[in-house]
């Protein structure tokens, strides 16, 4: 009987560690840390500017305009945006950490969109063409590592499937190559991911030909790449995916001075205990584009919170849906309450109200009804599970 090889054990651990599905939002804890590499001729200042551009691209995506006046001023001394600057290693690597609040203010001033730590998970199904035909991408392969590194560099929450028997029964290599959407969606139901990425890797001369399709919500992109190194191919792919994510989820933050954020009311049921409340508060704090979060009230297991958010209703719902512990719920049924127009002066007995008085009353009632409708429109209900 053959002995179990240590390499197989390492590969199994590597697979489980990086590929286990999550039950909540993909939160990129290292989003504000950037590692850059330069040669002997690259100065520290050049590395700092490069890292700053990478950081801003992670947050703003394809909308980043480096020629915007606010961005140009910041790039003159990018250290002002940094929390920590590491020393440069012998191999030319430097790690830098940025201050989230300062970056948010900068993008608000430049009127550029921002996407914070909460990001949609993207499940990668990939096949590699080899001498024996197509094979599912191995989690420990060079290509898998290159794609992981590129995803981290570009701020993509990448998830690899387990590749176990259940996956192989549900999805074939041919399904991935053809980009069969129905088969991919069915095979992906066991994973907590909002986006699907189907990739085929084919050798071409001394390089690789890479074809991909990307589904996110109701959007679909596809492209063919070639004539690049493995690292360049992976980075080009993940940059395209990151831009697709930004197009759906990024929101232009309101500046602290303008106060352009709208206030939304969130009613969340099923919040039991301080630990659950802390998890909810942390999830909302990761949205990235809100300016404040305030607890308005607690009733049994129901919290009512005020959230200042600069985007539209659909954008807020899309961001909140990233945390799969928040389930949209319907508003509770309650008897209709009469709309109050405030203290209205009624005419004396026997007197008929004038046309002017009636018009004022009608205007006040319409204004009160509009305010009540607006409050209902900006109140969202959720169950926490």
On whether both 189 and 238 belong to a single domain, the answer is: yes
Is 295 a domain residue?
A: yes
How many domains is the chain partitioned into structurally? 3
On whether both 142 and 241 belong to a single domain, the answer is: yes
DSSP 332: P
Is 330 a domain residue?
A: yes
Q: Which of 51, 75, 109 marks a domain boundary?
A: 109
| 286 burial level (CB within 10 Å; 0-12, 13-18, 19+) | buried
On whether both 315 and 204 belong to a single domain, the answer is: no
On whether both 57 and 80 belong to a single domain, the answer is: yes
Nearest-Å Rg of the Cα atoms of the chain is 26
On whether both 126 and 243 belong to a single domain, the answer is: yes
Q: From first to last of its 385 residues, what are the pLDDT tens digits of the chain?
A: 333 343 333 333 333 333 334 344 578 889 999 999 888 788 889 999 999 999 999 999 988 999 999 999 999 999 999 999 988 888 889 999 999 889 988 998 998 988 888 889 999 999 998 878 889 998 889 999 999 999 999 999 999 998 888 988 999 999 999 999 999 999 999 888 889 999 999 887 777 889 999 999 889 999 998 767 888 999 999 999 999 999 988 888 765 555 556 788 888 888 887 888 888 887 777 665 555 778 888 888 888 888 887 777 787 888 888 777 888 888 877 654 554 545 455 555 556 667 777 677 777 666 666 665 556 667 888 888 7
Is 4 a domain residue?
A: no
Q: According to the model, what pLDDT value does residue 332 have? A: 79
Going by C-alpha positions, the residue among 178, 171, 172, 213 that lies closest to residue 196 is 213
Q: According to the model, what pLDDT value does residue 314 have? A: 80
Is 99 a domain residue?
A: yes
On whether both 87 and 137 belong to a single domain, the answer is: no
DSSP string for 361-382: HHHHHHHHHHHHHHHHHTEEEE
Q: According to the model, what pLDDT value does residue 238 have? A: 95
What's the pTM value of the predicted model, to 2 decimals?
Answer: 0.74
Q: Which of 217, 249, 281 marks a domain boundary?
A: 249
Is 332 a domain residue?
A: yes
Pair 272, 342: CB distance under 8 Å: no
Tokens representing residue 190 in the block: 């066991």
Is 5 a domain residue?
A: no
Q: According to the model, what pLDDT value does residue 291 have? A: 56
Pair 125, 161: CB distance under 8 Å: yes
Expressed as residue numbers, the domain containing 32 is 27-109
On whether both 271 and 243 belong to a single domain, the answer is: no
On whether both 137 and 100 belong to a single domain, the answer is: no
On whether both 69 and 140 belong to a single domain, the answer is: no
Q: According to the model, what pLDDT value does residue 259 have? A: 52
Q: Which of 196, 223, 249 marks a domain boundary?
A: 249
Is 9 a domain residue?
A: no
Residue 385 neighbours by CB under 8 Å, 6+ apart: 270, 325, 327
Is 198 a domain residue?
A: yes
Q: What is the CATH number of the domain that holds 126?
A: 3.30.160.100
On whether both 225 and 284 belong to a single domain, the answer is: no
On whether both 241 and 267 belong to a single domain, the answer is: no
Pair 197, 212: CB distance under 8 Å: yes
> Which residue intervals of the chain are DSSP H helices?
6-19, 44-60, 69-76, 100-109, 142-154, 165-170, 173-178, 181-187, 230-249, 274-285, 313-320, 355-377
Residue 178 neighbours by CB under 8 Å, 6+ apart: none
Q: According to the model, what pLDDT value does residue 49 have? A: 94
Instruction: Encode 146-166 in three state secondary structure.
Output: HHHHHHHHHCCEEECCCCCHH
On whether both 210 and 105 belong to a single domain, the answer is: no
Q: According to the model, what pLDDT value does residue 205 have? A: 72
């Amino acid at each position: 009987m053959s002995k179990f090889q240590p390499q197989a054990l390492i590969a199994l651990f590597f697979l489980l560690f990086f590929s286990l599905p999550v039950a909540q939002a993909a939160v990129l804890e290292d989003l504000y840390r950037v590692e850059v590499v330069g040669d002997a001729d690259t100065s520290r200042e050049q590395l700092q500017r490069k890292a700053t551009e990478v950081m801003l691209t992670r947050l703003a995506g394809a909308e980043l305009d480096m020629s915007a006046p606010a961005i140009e001023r910041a790039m003159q001394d990018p250290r002002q945006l940094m929390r920590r600057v590491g020393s440069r290693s012998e191999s030319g690597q430097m790690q830098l950490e940025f201050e989230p609040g300062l970056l948010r203010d900068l993008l608000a001033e430049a009127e550029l969109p921002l996407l914070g730590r909460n990001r949609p998970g993207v499940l990668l199904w990939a096949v590699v063409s080899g001498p024996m035909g197509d094979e599912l991408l191995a989690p420990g392969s060079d290509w898998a590592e290159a794609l992981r590194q590129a995803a981290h560099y570009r701020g993509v929450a990448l998830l690899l499937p387990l590749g176990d028997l259940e996956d192989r029964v549900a999805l074939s290599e041919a399904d991935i190559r053809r980009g069969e959407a129905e088969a991919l969606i069915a095979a992906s139901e066991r994973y907590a991911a909002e986006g699907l990425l189907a990739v085929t890797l084919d050798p071409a001369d001394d390089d690789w030909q890479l074809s991909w399709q990307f589904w996110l919500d109701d959007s679909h992109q596809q492209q063919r790449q070639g004539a690049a190194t493995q690292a360049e191919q992976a980075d080009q792919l993940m940059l395209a995916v990151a831009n697709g994510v930004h197009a759906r989820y990024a929101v232009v933050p309101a500046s602290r001075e303008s106060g352009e954020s709208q206030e939304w009311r969130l009613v969340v049921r099923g919040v039991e205990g301080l630990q659950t409340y802390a998890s909810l508060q942390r999830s909302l704090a990761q949205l990235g584009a809100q300016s404040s979060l305030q607890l308005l009230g607690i009733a049994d297991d129901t919290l009512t919170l005020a959230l200042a958010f600069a985007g539209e209703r659909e954008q807020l719902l899309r961001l909140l849906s990233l945390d799969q512990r928040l389930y949209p719920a319907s508003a509770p049924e309650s008897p209709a309450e009469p709309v109050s127009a405030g203290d209205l002066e009624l005419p004396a007995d026997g007197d008929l109200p004038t046309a002017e008085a009636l018009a004022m009353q009608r205007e006040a009632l319409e204004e009160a009804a509009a305010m009540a409708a607006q409050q209902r429109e900006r109140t969202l209900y959720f169950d926490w599970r």
